Amino acid sequence: MMAVQQTYMGPLPPPEDLARYDEIVPGMAERLLTGFERQTEHRMALEKKVIDRDIRRADWGLGAGFAFGLVVFAGALGLILTGHESVGVGTIIADFLTYGGAFLYGDIQRRRERNRKAGGR
């Protein structure tokens, strides 16, 4: 008496098992491979859609932030032109510091993420 145990990892069985499936049910190996290929294409299409939408959302966010910054800047200029120089200048400084800080924070976060993925700190 002999006992054999085999294990494999992966989405498809080993070629020997596929051949045995074909012996039992002709064309079964082809059907399994075709199903695997369709599932892979489907998953990749979904991932592409998610990535494309994330990029579009980020672009819209940048545009909205830029537009808001321009509105605040225009309002600050309006304050300066109507005789409220200190408030207008303070608003311009706060505007630049806020957006500059946001970009610096984003840059630092991206750098940390790249380091983490590269196996660094």
pTM for the model stands at 0.60
Domain of residue 71: give its range: 15-115
Contacting residues for 32 by C-beta, under 8 A, at least 6 apart:
12, 13, 18, 21
Say how many domains are in the chain: 1
Q: What is the DSSP letter of 64?
A: H
Q: 3-state DSSP call for residue 24?
A: helix
pLDDT digits (tens, 9 = 90+) for 16-56: 888 999 999 999 999 999 999 999 999 999 999 999 999 99
Q: Flag whether 7 is in a domain.
A: no
Mean pLDDT of 49-66: 93
Q: Flag whether 95 is in a domain.
A: yes
CB 95 within 8 A of CB 76: yes
Q: Is the pLDDT of residue 121 over 70?
A: no
The chain-wide mean pLDDT, for the chain, equals: 91
Q: Flag whether 46 is in a domain.
A: yes
What integer pLDDT is reported at residue 106 of this predicted model?
A: 87
Q: Flag whether 106 is in a domain.
A: yes
Q: Flag whether 1 is in a domain.
A: no
What integer pLDDT is reported at residue 34 of this predicted model?
A: 94
Q: Flag whether 2 is in a domain.
A: no
